[in-house]
């Protein structure tokens, strides 16, 4: 059966026959880069369409239905429109930083792709501190937003960027603590080993209620970290027009837009990896027959299925809840999520020491 | 007890969020019951809500008679000078002079459909129509005279 790991091995063996080892390395890196960029473009198109469709159905509307069969080409048409638009730079802006910011956003999103395991044995970089890498890089997201807000020389932009800074810095704590709970349970920072530790059941099932609480906190915190409603204070259309990307137009705006959706995908992929077993099929303890049946579904389908389920969850939140005020937002983090997650991680540590999980 | 209150708050918060999520999940899973209308496609069978306001019209009956006395209450009520009433004096059979409207000028391009003129009218001479496709190529076409030519006030309306 074809799988991603088999294809990658075939390409690798073909290249190593025809080229020297250095050139094999270089060509493989180029292929990986092109694959990541293609994935970005595809994800942007699919997620924007999915978001609009989910929003429409939740609001009892039809959603995009004019371009292509059932509106399936809507996001492609939008991309084409954005590509031919003029990318303006305002007069008062800090030109260098203004033009740099969207690329920083994209580069951060790209770097986050590296340690994610898309299928069994299919990973760009099997890093032994994958979890640490992800939490470290994802906090760089705020730099691009602050840069965009500052360089725009616009009050709305600056206000949005400052809010976003406060928000991301505070919500990183509870996101980090809930990620740590899985590290405590699995005893590894390597994303691949964390997935392998879930071969006899996903952590959300094996870890009882404390892990479910950690999962809920994780989902809330990453929704805030990716600046999506109900925590979209950085954009807050009704208050700040568009927040940090008010002054952006054309493809530079599209890069921010794309980076937002890529970040949503990445945090959902991390969530799926940590709590729902990544590419690991649904295994229940020692039910050998059941586990074998589940193994027939390819691992990439498991990974993308779980990730898209989490993405749907985040979209569902977006179209259900009203936006929080900034004081309510910080209240929620510092008075509720943080104490609960600190208590929770103590509980999980106790659980891991005493072996109270399956 | 402080801790109990805190835990109760967390749970009631989660519960209220779950209520909202259940509602939207219901809508999501019943997406066939859409409430929007596919406008250009169903132009012939368009259904308007009762309170939809498209433009101001003057009601005329079969004898080409209206109920406007020319009192200018609507003109005074209008917040942005959409309505201009030009009055004239009719001579009644008894030889008395009586005030009547010559032209009821309505500037659609200024109208915000606020309905204040209809509310202000003491004789219910004007109402809001549900026509809405008002685009024209010449701005002058948006200035309308609402009373039909040769129409006159209905008997008994004071």
Cβ of B31 within 8 Å of Cβ of A319? The answer is: no
pLDDT value for B137:
92
Chain B residue numbers with beta carbons less than 8 Å from the beta carbon of A337 are none
Does residue A303 sit within a domain?
yes
Does residue A30 sit within a domain?
no
Determine the Cα angle at B67 with ends B63 and B73, to 5°: 160
Chain A within 8 Å of B22 (Cβ-Cβ)?
no
Does residue A61 sit within a domain?
no
Residue B12 has pLDDT above 70, yes or no: yes
Residue A350 has pLDDT above 80, yes or no: yes
Å from B1 to nearest chain A CA? Answer: 17
Does residue A320 sit within a domain?
yes
Cβ of B20 within 8 Å of Cβ of A320? The answer is: yes
Cβ of A58 within 8 Å of Cβ of B24? The answer is: yes
- Residues A90, A152 contacting (CB under 8 angstroms): yes
Residue B119 has pLDDT above 80, yes or no: yes
Å from A342 to nearest chain B CA? Answer: 15
Nearest Cβ partner of A60 from B20, B21, B35? B35
Per-residue pLDDT tens over the stretch A49-84: 888 888 888 888 888 888 878 778 888 888 888 888
Cβ of A61 within 8 Å of Cβ of B36? The answer is: yes
Mean pLDDT of A274-299: 77
Output the six-digit token pair for A222. 């990453």
* Residue in this structure with the two tokens 């590509």, named with its chain if needed: A83
pLDDT value for A86:
81
Q: Choose the mutation target among B10, B30, B31 for the interface with A, i.e. most A CBs under 10 Å.
A: B31
Range of the domain at A289: 86-354
Determine the Cα angle at B115 with ends B111 and B121, to 5°: 110
Among A3-7, A58-62, B15-19, the minimum mean pLDDT is found in A3-7
- Taking the CB of residue A2, how many other CB atoms lie within 10 A of it? 8
Model-level pTM? 0.81
Number of A–B residue contacts, CB under 8 Å:
35
- Residues A266, A272 contacting (CB under 8 angstroms): no
Does residue A156 sit within a domain?
yes
Q: Which residues of A touch B (CB under 8 A)?
A: 54, 56-62, 316-317, 319-321, 336, 340
Higher pLDDT, A259 or B158: A259
Find, in chain B, the residue whose alpha carbon is nearest to that of A62. Answer: B34
Pairwise CA distance, residues B51 & B127, whole Å = 11
Å from A213 to nearest chain B CA? Answer: 12
**What is the length of chain A?**
358
- Residues B131, B54 contacting (CB under 8 angstroms): yes
Per-residue pLDDT tens over the stretch A121-179: 778 888 888 888 888 888 888 888 888 888 888 888 888 888 888 888 888 888 888 88
Find, in chain A, the residue whose alpha carbon is nearest to that of B24. Answer: A58
Mean pLDDT of A320-342: 86
How much is the CA Rg of chain B, to the nearest whole Å? Answer: 26
Task: Identify the three-state secondary structure at position A346.
Answer: helix
Pairwise CA distance, residues A224 & A321, whole Å = 13
Cβ of A319 within 8 Å of Cβ of B25? The answer is: no
- Residues B126, B59 contacting (CB under 8 angstroms): yes
Residue A246 has pLDDT above 70, yes or no: yes
Q: Is the ipTM of this complex over 0.85?
A: no
* Residue in this structure with the two tokens 């995908």, named with its chain if needed: A265
Mean pLDDT of A27-33: 85
Per-residue pLDDT tens over the stretch B131-149: 888 888 988 888 888 888 8
Cβ of A340 within 8 Å of Cβ of B10? The answer is: yes
pLDDT value for A22:
86
Cβ of A60 within 8 Å of Cβ of B31? The answer is: yes
Q: Exposed, middle or buried by CB within 10 Å (0-12, 13-18, 19+), for A224? A: buried
Does residue A79 sit within a domain?
no
Among A277-281, A329-333, B8-12, the minimum mean pLDDT is found in A277-281
Nearest Cβ partner of A320 from B21, B31, B38? B21
Output the six-digit token pair for A163. 């809010």
Residue A103 has pLDDT above 80, yes or no: yes
Mean pLDDT of A194-218: 83
Output the six-digit token pair for A208. 């009882």
Chain A within 8 Å of B25 (Cβ-Cβ)?
yes
Peptide bond before residue A230 is cis, with ω within 30 degrees of 0: yes
Cβ of B21 within 8 Å of Cβ of A59? The answer is: no
Q: Choose the mutation target among B24, B33, B37 for the interface with A, i.e. most A CBs under 10 Å.
A: B24
By DSSP bridging, strand A122-123 and strand A117-119 are antiparallel
Q: Which helix (H) or strand (E) holds A32?
A: helix A21-58
Pairwise CA distance, residues A64 & B36, whole Å = 13
Mean pLDDT of B10-27: 88
Domain count along chain A: 1
Chain A within 8 Å of B140 (Cβ-Cβ)?
no
Nearest Cβ partner of A58 from B10, B27, B36? B27
Q: List own/partner pairs for A202-208 with CB under 8 A and 24 or more apart.
A: A202/A275, A202/A276, A202/A277, A202/A280, A202/A282, A203/A274, A203/A275, A203/A277, A204/A275, A204/A276, A205/A358, A206/A357, A206/A358, A207/A181, A207/A348, A207/A351, A207/A357, A208/A351, A208/A356, A208/A357
Output the six-digit token pair for B19. 């209520």
Residue A97 has pLDDT above 80, yes or no: yes
Q: Check residue B84 and report its DSSP letter.
A: E
Quick one: which of A91, A281, A131 has its CA closest to A196?
A281
Å from B53 to nearest chain A CA? Answer: 22
Q: What average pLDDT does the structure give for chain A?
A: 84
Pairwise CA distance, residues A120 & B110, whole Å = 65
Task: Identify the three-state secondary structure at position A202.
Answer: coil
pLDDT value for A358:
65
Chain A residue numbers with beta carbons less than 8 Å from the beta carbon of B28 are 54, 57-58, 316
By DSSP bridging, strand B65-66 and strand B152-153 are parallel
Does residue A39 sit within a domain?
no
pLDDT value for A1:
64
Find, in chain A, the residue whose alpha carbon is nearest to that of B6. Answer: A336
By DSSP bridging, strand B65-66 and strand B55-58 are unpaired
Chain B residue numbers with beta carbons less than 8 Å from the beta carbon of A57 are 27-28, 31
Does residue A273 sit within a domain?
yes
Q: Exposed, middle or buried by CB within 10 Å (0-12, 13-18, 19+), for B101? A: buried
């Amino acid at each position: 059966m074809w799988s991603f790991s088999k294809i990658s091995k075939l390409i690798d063996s073909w290249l190593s026959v025809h080229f020297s080892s250095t050139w094999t390395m270089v060509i493989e890196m180029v292929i990986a880069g092109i694959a990541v960029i293609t994935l970005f473009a595809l994800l942007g198109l699919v997620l924007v369409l999915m978001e609009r469709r989910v929003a429409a159905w939740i609001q009892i509307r039809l959603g995009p239905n004019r371009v292509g069969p059932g509106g399936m080409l809507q996001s492609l048409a939008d991309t084409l429109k954005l590509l031919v638009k003029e990318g303006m730079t305002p007069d008062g802006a800090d030109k260098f930083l203004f033009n740099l910011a969207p690329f920083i956003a994209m580069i951060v999103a790209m770097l986050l792709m590296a340690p994610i395991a898309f299928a069994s044995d299919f990973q760009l970089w099997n890093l032994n501190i994958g979890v640490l890498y992800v939490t470290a890089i994802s906090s760089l997201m705020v730099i691009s937003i602050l840069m965009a807000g500052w360089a725009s020389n616009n009050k709305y932009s600056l206000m949005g960027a400052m809010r976003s800074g406060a928000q991301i810095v505070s919500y990183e704590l509870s996101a980090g603590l809930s990620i740590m709970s899985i590290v405590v349970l699995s005893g590894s920072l390597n994303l691949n080993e964390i997935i392998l530790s879930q071969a006899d059941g996903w952590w959300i099932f094996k870890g009882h209620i404390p892990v479910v609480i950690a999962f809920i906190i994780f989902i809330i915190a990453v929704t805030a970290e990716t600046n999506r409603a109900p925590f979209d204070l950085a954009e807050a259309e009704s208050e700040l027009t568009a927040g940090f990307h008010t002054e952006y137009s054309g493809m530079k705006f599209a890069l921010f837009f794309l980076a937002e959706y890529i970040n949503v995908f990445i945090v959902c992929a991390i969530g799926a990896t940590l709590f729902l077993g990544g590419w690991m099929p649904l295994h229940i303890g020692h039910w050998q027959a059941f586990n074998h049946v589940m193994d027939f579904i390819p691992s990439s389908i498991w990974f993308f299925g779980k990730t898209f389920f989490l993405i749907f969850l985040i979209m569902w939140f977006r179209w259900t809840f009203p936006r929080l005020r900034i004081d309510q937002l910080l209240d929620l983090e510092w008075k509720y999520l943080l104490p609960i997650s600190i208590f929770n991680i103590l509980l999980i540590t106790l659980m891991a020491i005493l072996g109270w999980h399956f | 007890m402080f801790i109990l209150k805190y835990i109760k708050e967390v749970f009631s918060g989660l519960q209220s969020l779950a209520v909202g999520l259940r509602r939207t999940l219901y809508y999501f899973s019943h997406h066939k019951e859409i409430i929007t209308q596919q406008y250009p496609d169903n132009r012939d069978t368009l259904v308007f809500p009762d309170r939809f306001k498209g433009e101001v019209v003057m009601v005329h009956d079969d004898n080409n008679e209206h109920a406007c006395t020319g009192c200018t209450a609507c003109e005074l009520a209008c917040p942005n000078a959409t309505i201009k009433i030009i009055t004239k004096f009719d001579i009644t059979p008894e030889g008395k002079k009586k005030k009547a409207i010559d032209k009821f000028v309505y500037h659609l391009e200024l109208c915000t459909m606020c309905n204040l003129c209809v509310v202000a009218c003491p004789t219910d001479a004007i109402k809001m129509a549900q026509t809405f496709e008002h685009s024209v190529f010449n701005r002058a076409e948006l200035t309308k005279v609402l009373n039909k030519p040769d129409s006159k006030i209905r008997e008994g309306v004071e």
